Each structure stands twice: as structure tokens, then as C-alpha cells.
Amino acid sequence: MRAAAWKRWRTAGWVLLAALALPGGTAAAQAQARPNIVFLLADDHAAHALSAYRAHLAYGARLPDTPNLDRLAASGMLFTHAFVTNSICGPSRAALLTGQYGHVNGVVTNAEPLHPSAVTFPRLLRRGGYETAIFGKWHLHDPPDPEAYDRYELLVGQGPYYNPVLRSATDTVRYTGYTNDVVTERALGWLDGRRDPRKPFLLMLNFNAPHRYWDPGPDQLGLFRDTVFAEPATFWDDGSGRAFPTRDAEMTVARDLFDRDLKLEAPEGLTPGQRAAWDRAYGPENEAFRAAALTGDAATRWKYQRFIRDYMRAVMALDAAVGRVLAELDRLGLAGSTAVVYTSDQGFFLGDHGWFDKRWMYEESLRTPLLVRWPGVVEPGSVRGDLAMNLDLAQTLLEMGGVPAPASMQGSSLVPLLRGRTPAGWRDAVYYQYFAYPDWHMVQRQYGVRTRRYKLIHYYEAGKWELFDLARDPGEMRSVYGDPRYASVVRDLERKLRALRRQYAVPERDTVPHVPFVAPPGLRRAEAGLH
């Protein structure tokens, strides 16, 4: 082991041993050297729906500003090339917690729970002297590891946008209000009155916005009512330049949005006051749509406007919640000693290629926003283009807290990048794999490699390949796989892909079998959303 690496490991090890041996006074002393950590996790927040990214992305229509997230970016670091291991909620959340791909931690689709024995960064930080709490969306089936959190209050499943039930280790409580507001209020209440203010803390606040059904908060219902959003440049893409026609995936704006998505139906369980506000917001426009009886492209355009307005209304509610968190850190005098991390479990199609949802390895789905503010360490307003992954965050937060990461974690700490330095040998490619087929939205199983310029995707059950030259085709409209001018690029990427599969110990056979999709009992295929 090199001398510098040994010194870093020894220092971190002594921090952990001291915190474990003398949990009271030692942890309080170490809090001065280790930051508090606030980890903010959105659900399906596309990077191109965050205005701080506008200058750094070559795709997506212009969308409204997100002022509080922009403030966070201006006071910290923005990662322009942060990607996920698997663009679907459960596997992404498991990767964030464990620093492992799904084929290692066992969560490769939304069907598998995260096993209680999984080693997660919150468990290790708590052992290392941090007070830990999590509020909001969990989505990993079983309650969290009791060794990981001093306090948890979690939604059941995805959770509704209004009047949520939160479960804790000791109780289950139904709250009245907008879910983003409720979980933010609960998290900030814990922050203000946490059990041992002498310890550093980890606060995880997991929003369920802007996930489908994109329900706005009460303060956002009136936003963008008269705004006509520009359609993405790829909105009418038919997929003719790629391996599969766009229509093959059951996630098109034209065909696959429910009445509930489009607010032609209201959410269940609203209070009378909430329902009245809802009807005032949506009733007149819904009646006008029904009266017009739009069909064809005109109906598709109307659906897109309704979808993107509601998506951005949900984003604005999320942005407001982030603003509340930042303001509370200021009020409590904690901003200078607290690292704030903001990311999403994955990206999202916002009409790009005519789609909503995620799952594909295309940019809008693969890329995730990542903002980090760490006072005294991160240069405010800095931008980093190194290839980063959600896989890296567990090791990053452990290094922030002075706690060694186990060898079983597969990412790389981003701390050197946060300090303004790219380590020698930093990754030049990311590996992605999606397993959930046949399943909701009917997106083919795939794995692939993305470098700074190229992306090679293998639809391994269908026996098809795609290659994109992102410098010439940032919208990924036309695969150049099979073009003789790219033969050497394909060979290089195939070698890199094999090497990454070996590096991450990817099994030759999927750990989840290919089985026919069965719609929920009592529902026909179309009614289940798989028409």
C-alpha cells in the first residue's frame, strides 16, 4: 500500500475506532472535524428540468427556472456527467445506499427488497458516531435496517401526493397536507430537536416528487396555466434510427398517459377543501378539452402541455421544499458546518423521443442531477465534468464522515473531485444495466457502456445493438452501429464493456429470470397501463 493511501486509511480508521470506543464525548469532539450531512433525494427529477444544468446539456426544451436548486448549485459543485447504474426507483435507491450494483446487493428490479443484512452508508455513519434520520420515500419493501437510523418516518410504497401515511419504528400516522410539505416539516422538526446536538448528523430527505402522477402542491396549482411550453426537438421521433420503434415502449405521451396522469381524474382521498381547489384548477380546462374532442396530433400536443405543466408544477413544489431546508440550516446556524447533497434516483423523459418515464440508457434517463455544497471544501459555483455515478455516493459520504468504506462497495469516492482534483486513473466509462422486462412500460433488457463521446448499448435478449456518437448526435436519433466508419470504435467499446462486466462481477446469466408479465388481478392489459 502506498504511504499516502496508508496514511489516509489509518487516519479514517482512528476516527472510527475512537467514535466507537467513546460514543459520547469523542463523537462530539469529532463533529468539529466532520460535516453534518443533509442528503436530498428527488424522484424522477430530470437534469434538464433543473435550470442550473441548462448551459451544460445539449438536449431538452427550455423549462422554468428552479431558483432554490440554482442557489444550491451556485454555492457548491454541479456535476454535469452524473449517471445511474439502473434507471428505475428501487435498484437506484439500493445502489445509493450500498454503493453496489443491483446484481450484488440483490435489488435489480422493483420487485426485490433490500435485505436487512446489506451494509449501507447510513449504518456505517451511525456506527461512526453520526446521529441519523430518514424521512419520505423508501421504496425498498421491508422497513430499513434498525442499525442504520436513529429515526425514520417513511411513506408506504410510492406514497400519495396528498395526505400521506408515514410509518416509523413505533407508530403509523396519517397526516393531512401535501406530502412534500409534510415530510419536509417532519424532517426539519427532527433537525431542530434532534436527540444529541453534540454529534454530527446525517439527515436524508427523500421526496416522492416529481414521480408520476406529477400532482402539484396547493401553492403550485395555478402555475403555468397560460404557458405554452416548447416541444422537445425529438418529440415526434418515431425511433426509425434506433433498434426499436418508439411505439414499442409503452410510455408514449400520445398513447400511454392515463386520465389520472392528465388530471381528467382527481386523486383519491382529497379533503373537501383540497378537492375544491383541485376542481377550480383543472375543471374549466378539462371541460374545454372534452368539448373540443381533439384527436391525432392535436390531442398529443394537448397531452404534452398538460403533462409538462404538471411535471414542472411538481418540480416547483420540490424546489420550494429545498429552499425551506436551506433556510432552516441558515436559521439554526448550521449552514457552515453542513454538507448538502442533492440528486435524483434517475432522470426522466420529458416528451423527449415522445416519451415520459425512464428505464432506457438514453441520456434523459441515464443522467441524474448531482449538486454538492460543502462549505470550506467545495469551491462555490464550480462545475465538474468527470464521469460520476450514483454508485459513488456511499463512499463519498463515508469519506466526508471520516469512516472507512468496506471493500464490497463498487464505486469511487467523489471527495477528490469535490476538492478540485481528478485522481489518476479516474473512470473513463460507466456501465449500465436494466433488467425489468417484460414489465411496466415494456422496455427491453439492456446493458451498455458510455464514455465521454460514445455510447454502446446491447439489447442482449433481443440480440440487437446501438452505437451513438454523442458529439455528432446528442439527441441519440440515429444509431451508427454497423457503419464501417465506426468499426474501430465498436471494437474498443466492446472490449471496454467486457472489462467493466468483469470489474463489477456481472454474472453471465441474469439473476432474475425472464417471465411473462401478468397484469394485476381484475385488470385487462390496457387498464393496467400496458396497452
Q: Does some domain include residue 185?
A: yes
Rounded Cα gap, residues 40 and 183, in angstroms: 12
Q: Does some domain include residue 509?
A: no
Give the mean pLDDT of 441-464: 97
Residue 245 makes CB contacts below 8 A (sequence gap 6+) with 238, 239
The number of domains in the chain is 1
The helix, strand and coil proportions of the chain, stated in percent and rounded to the nearest 5, come to 35, 15, 50
Residue 289 makes CB contacts below 8 A (sequence gap 6+) with 264, 302
- Indicate which CATH number applies to the domain containing 167: 3.40.720.10
pLDDT score of 331 more than 80: yes
Q: Does some domain include residue 88?
A: yes
Give the model's confidence band at 530: pLDDT under 50 very low, under 70 low, under 90 confident, else very high: very low
Determine the pLDDT at residue 116: 86
Give the model's confidence band at 517: pLDDT under 50 very low, under 70 low, under 90 confident, else very high: low
Residue 354 — φ and ψ, nearest 5°?
80, 10
Q: Does some domain include residue 433?
A: no
Residue 441 makes CB contacts below 8 A (sequence gap 6+) with 249, 250, 251, 256, 357, 359, 530
Distances (CA, A) of 467 to 71, 234, 347, 362, 446: 37, 18, 20, 11, 13
Q: Does some domain include residue 118?
A: yes
pLDDT score of 194 more than 90: no
Residues of the domain holding 95: 3-213+321-416
Determine the pLDDT at residue 521: 57
pLDDT score of 12 more than 80: no
pLDDT score of 5 more than 50: no
Determine the pLDDT at residue 258: 96
Rounded Cα gap, residues 221 and 339, in angstroms: 32
Percentage of the chain lying above the pLDDT 90 cut: 87
User: What is the tens place of the pLDDT at every residue in 101-154?
Assistant: 999 999 999 999 999 889 999 999 999 999 999 999 999 998 888 899 999 999
Determine the pLDDT at residue 425: 96
pLDDT score of 1 more than 80: no
Give the model's confidence band at 520: pLDDT under 50 very low, under 70 low, under 90 confident, else very high: low
Give the model's confidence band at 519: pLDDT under 50 very low, under 70 low, under 90 confident, else very high: low
Q: Does some domain include residue 223?
A: no
Determine the pLDDT at residue 518: 67
Q: Does some domain include residue 284?
A: no
User: What is the tens place of the pLDDT at every residue in 279-321?
Assistant: 999 999 999 999 999 999 999 999 999 999 999 999 999 999 9
Residue 481 makes CB contacts below 8 A (sequence gap 6+) with 456, 465, 466, 467, 490
Q: Does some domain include residue 526?
A: no
Determine the pLDDT at residue 300: 98
Percentage of the chain lying above the pLDDT 70 cut: 91
Q: Taking the CA atoms of the chain, what radius of gyration do you get in angstroms?
A: 23
Determine the pLDDT at residue 32: 44
Q: What rounded mean pLDDT belongs to the chain? A: 92
User: What is the tens place of the pLDDT at every residue in 347-377?
Assistant: 999 999 999 999 999 999 999 999 999 999 9
Determine the pLDDT at residue 512: 84
Give the model's confidence band at 393: pLDDT under 50 very low, under 70 low, under 90 confident, else very high: very high
Q: What is the pTM of this model?
A: 0.92
Q: 442533492: which residue's cell?
A: 342
Give the mean pLDDT of 521-525: 44
Distances (CA, A) of 162 to 90, 155, 165, 178, 267: 22, 11, 10, 5, 8
Give the mean pLDDT of 42-63: 96
